[in-house]
Amino acid sequence: MDELLKASAAQHHNLCPRQVLGVRAGLLAGLLLDLPLPQSDKRLIAISETDGCFIDGLIAATGCYVGRRTLRIEDYGKTAAAFVDTLTERAVRIHPKISARDGAWDYAPSARNKWEAQLIGYQHIPDELLFHWQWVELTIPVKQIVGQAGRRAECEICGEEIINQREVICEGAVVCRSCAGDSYCRSIQIATSPHAA
């Protein structure tokens, strides 16, 4: 675990308790799914329910990366993640117990403050005291979550290319999600000129 914590902290400002939770959750997922981690292939997909510190720990422990298309974020603002074995479709969702925040003190008796108690305690507290976990099934098939790599389509409205099977059919037309009304941004008019004071 020390190696993984170092790898996580290298991507971060320093080591913090949530990174430890991410590393521990990833290690537990490997145990429960009986997969050797960190993986060098794409068999495991991690779906994190938050971004931030937790995910850096997850990445270090699992070898799942956004760039490899093995890590996704469903931002529910929860320190939790589901881990999916794409071969067997077995999936487990793991999240920390609230009680572990205080329980961490028992595993870091010389800690000087709460933050340090969590940082050290989370590294030593047993899985059963640190996490809840449950076997789950995905509401969207894993094939659909991943999409079809190499597939290309062209949006009939904006003309932009759509990869990985993210196109949708809207009133019989092949369109991108933005043109289907599911956009996170919209165009605005900027009235200022580059020479304006």
* 3-state SS, residue 124: helix
Choosing from 145, 153, 157, 170, the residue that interacts with Zn ion (CB under 5 A) is: 157
For the residues of 45-102, what is the DSSP string, one character each? EEEES--SHHHHHHHHHH---TTTT-EEE---S-S-EEEEETTT--EEEEEE-TTHHH
Residue 103 contacts residue 80 (beta carbons within 8 Å): no
Tokens of 186: 């919209």
Choosing from 158, 161, 166, 173, the residue that interacts with Zn ion (CB under 5 A) is: 158
Q: Which window, 93-101, 120-128, 136-144, 168-176, contacts Zn ion (CB under 5 A)?
A: 168-176
Binding residues among 38-67 for Zn ion as defined by CB under 5 A? 53
- If binding is defined by CB under 5 A, does position 117 make contact with Zn ion? no
- If binding is defined by CB under 5 A, does position 174 make contact with Zn ion? no
Binding residues among 6-45 for Zn ion as defined by CB under 5 A? 16
Report the interface residues with Zn ion, using CB under 5 A: 16, 53, 155, 157-158, 176, 179
